[in-house]
Amino acid sequence: MFSITVNDKGVILLTGRLDAAQVDKAREVFAALEVSAVVDFKELDYISSAGLGVLLATQQRLKKGGNAIKLVNMNRMVRDVFKIARFDLIFEIE
């Protein structure tokens, strides 16, 4: 399962598995984002290209207004996926 929440500091928390069947939940939250934000991957176990697509579209939209999302606390496998996709060149990853 997958869940996405925004805490009182505006940090977006991803939990579980972000796959093609769950991606609409993430799309809905990211589509409403209009300013820079931190996305916390600490509880995210899995991501596929479906999730990467949502993050890419969000970053492209935000950059037009001088904003961006920053990604933090990725596990090793998720980080490998970002590297292979060369998304480490698109996002600030901490």
Partner 1 sequence: MRQQFDKDIRSLDAVFAFLRRFAEEERLDARASYVLDLAVEEFFTNIVKYGRGTASDILLEAVRDGRTATVRLEEQTPVPFDVTRPTQTQFDVPFADRRPGGLGIHIAREMLDGLTYDYVDGTSRITLTKHLET
Choose between 5 and 49: whose C-beta lies nearer to partner 1: 49
Q: Which among 85, 73, 15 is positioned nearest to 48, based on CA atoms? A: 85
Choose between 32 and 84: whose C-beta lies nearer to partner 1: 84
- Spatial neighbors of 77 by CB under 8 A, at least 6 apart, are 46
Choose which of 11, 29, 33, 53 interacts with partner 1 (CB under 8 A).
53
Choose between 10 and 92: whose C-beta lies nearer to partner 1: 92
Beta carbon of residue 65, minimum distance to partner 1 (angstroms, whole number): 13
The reply to whether 43 sits near partner 1 by the rule CB under 8 A is no
The reply to whether 32 sits near partner 1 by the rule CB under 8 A is no
- Residue 41 near residue 72 (C-beta atoms within 8 A): yes
Q: What order do you get walking across the sheet with 2-6 strand by strand? A: 2-6, 12-18, 37-47, 69-72, 92-93
The reply to whether 52 sits near partner 1 by the rule CB under 8 A is yes
